[in-house]
Chain A
Amino acid sequence: MSNRKRSALFTLLCLCILIPTTLILGSRLKGRWYYLTSTLIVVEAMIPFFYAFEIRKPKAGELVTVAVLAALAAVSRGAFAFLPHFKPVVGIIMIVGIAFGGEVGFLTGAIAAFASNFFFGQGPFTPWQMMSYGMGGFLAGAVFHRSWEKWEKKKLFPVALGSFGFLSVLLLVGPLLDICSLFTMSSTLSWDFAIACLSSGFFVNLTHSLSTLLTLLLLGKPLLAKLKRLQSKYGIWER
């Protein structure tokens, strides 16, 4: 079997067997099992991405490039010390996803979140953060990876990138993190608490999505050009 088929089969196995089993088992148990169940599902949803990366046996240069970009995303806040609350992390992860494809984008996001938590402290939110940052990169790759070179010349390309980033952080990346606090802090699940959690995170998410918009608007084109050069000159993550 080719690597591609193996990873597709594995993904299917995870989605169709592992996750439903966890859900059924989790709903049968009493107590505060929902945090555990939800976190397990988040972890299980990440496994196929990691597995695909492992069996692909990446070249040394590709491995180092992903490491460099993940580290860059993790430390990027340092460049904006004078602008509190400005977080360019997800923007950079999205650019990686667009240039190298959704899977690499996911990996960069997940590793960046995990590694930066070694410095800021791991917590019950770690898998959720990995998932949400990874999803940011994956989504950007899924939407733009195939066609960005065609659209690149258009004048509105950075604006399109920015607005995509804005919406996906506001609607997906941010709320995923809020859902984690819902599971860790509430004693019983209720819609009221969920709405309170999501709305209390709204302004944080708004500033987060604004900074993603600005990052993609200003850094999108230059960074994409640099990554494209790596691709064409050194054959790193070629399609």
Chain B
Amino acid sequence: MAKRDPFSEYHPLVCFLFFLTVILMGTVVRHPAYVLAGCVASGWYYGLLKGRGLLTMLLRLLPLLLLVSLLNPLFNPRGEHVLLRIFGRAFTWESLCFGFVTAGSFAQTILWFGCYNTVLTGDKFTSLFGNLIPALSLLLVMVLRMMGEQTRKLKQILHARSGIGKGITEQNSRREKLLHGMTALSALTDRALEGSIVTGNSMKARGYGCGRRTNFHSRRLRVGEWLCLLLFLFLLALTLCLGGMEAEFEPVIRTDPLGLGFLAYCGLLGVPIVLRIKESILWHILKYGI
């Protein structure tokens, strides 16, 4: 199977809009079918992006989800069918279902954010907002670079300290550990601030602030990306207009019947997955052609 993920290579605007929409819909809609569809789509895409990573993610999520779905009924005694009583409070079937739905929408938010982190890296984010918020996006780029650099410098400082016999181990007292950390941090501050003056002067000398900024990712929307964006917006409009997303859990469970709106929503969620499948089919056809 082709390892490339076509959606990740799309214009950042398309990716950003996609994630914004699915995450917002995922946190807001509480129709069980919609939540389930969101979970399946986010899990599937996460699996496509990370492979084995999906399993570890699910293992980590599972206890949290159980906690969320079982805790909610404890605080929400409304509902018709009482399953059991804990400390005199009713634990009802309806609020348990509601708890599952809440856990589901929590899970898909986490999974979508996991995909977001892989697809929309820092440089793409700043290229998207570079002209809207020039100073802030430059700030973000610098911080992202400096975090790596300063971690490295901090390690050097700690090594140097242990080289002159001031290293720290598990045997030292808490007080010593604390003072050691503070000294290292203080040294790091000196080093980093000294560098900041040099960098600032150098930026000024090279003409920072004169004229418009350019980006590392400089590209426009291609035809295919326009089509994808339009299709996406069309599906979104269909989902929102056709409705059918309401669900009530108290006092009895009542959900809207599923219709075309749900299909549109599924299509919306499936955009990156369909693109990936299309890519791998094309790849197989090309391989057989050789």
Contact = CB atoms under 8 A, between A and B. Distances in A.
A196 B116 contact: no
A219 B187 CA distance: 11
29 contacts: A32-B28, A32-B102, A54-B133, A58-B135, A61-B196, A61-B200, A63-B139, A65-B193, A67-B143, A71-B143, A72-B188, A75-B151, A75-B154, A76-B185, A80-B177, A83-B177, A83-B178, A88-B185, A114-B140, A118-B121, A122-B113, A124-B23, A184-B106, A185-B72, A187-B95, A190-B76, A226-B190, A230-B193, A236-B200
The size bracket of the interface on A is: 35 or more
Contact residues of B: prevailing secondary structure: helix
Contacts of B147: 71, 74-75, 115-116, 119
A8 B142 CA distance: 28
Contacts of A59: 200, 204
A190 B75 contact: yes
Contacts of A190: 75-76
A70 B143 contact: yes
A49 to B, nearest CB: 10
B110 A79 contact: no
Contact of B76 (A67, A185, A188): A188
A67 B146 contact: yes
Contact of A115 (B135, B144, B192, B208): B144
Nearest to A119: B147
Contacts of B201: 60-61
Interface in A78-106: 78-80, 82-83, 86, 88
Contacts of B144: 115, 118
B138 A32 contact: no
Interface of A: 30-33, 35-36, 50, 53-54, 57-68, 70-72, 74-76, 78-80, 82-83, 86, 88, 107, 111-112, 114-116, 118-119, 121-124, 184-188, 190, 192-193, 196, 214-215, 218-219, 222-223, 226, 230, 234, 236
A107 B190 CA distance: 21
Contacts of B110: 123-124
B143 A111 contact: yes
Contacts of B28: 31-33, 35-36
